[in-house]
Amino acid sequence: MSLPNCPKCAAEYTYEDGALLVCPMCAHEWSAAGDDAVQADEQDAVIRDAVGNELQDGDAVTVIKDLKVKGSSTVIKVGTKAKSIRLLPDATDGHDIDCRLDGYGPMKLKSSVVKKA
């Protein structure tokens, strides 16, 4: 029996786990019947902060831990605020927030290092 490719990343390495199909490449799970795939994608579109609050475009967030800026000796300190964020639900590298940090300029952040202000 041939299993379908992952609907999210198109990987061919899917496997069955009970009634679900699972992709080991992106950890996407969906029903073999295909009915739950649409609902799972809608749930994946929700971006949450480190505490679990749902984020939306235009929210203000605060950095919850010191972050080293790649390619620089700069460190973004705890408590740095970003206003008017823009969410990037299709980000492949995990940096799903586009914002402007006070004192640092434009930056992309992971939602796991911020909390809603």
State which of 11-25, 39-53, 58-72 shows the largest mean pLDDT: 58-72
DSSP 8-state symbol, 18: T
Is 22 within 8 Å of 28 (Cβ atoms)?
Answer: yes
Using 50, 70 and 90 to split pLDDT, how confident is the model at 20?
A: confident
For the entire predicted model, the pTM comes to 0.61
The per-residue pLDDT for range 92-111, each reduced to its tens digit, is 888 999 999 988 889 999 99
Q: For position 77, what pLDDT does the model report? A: 94
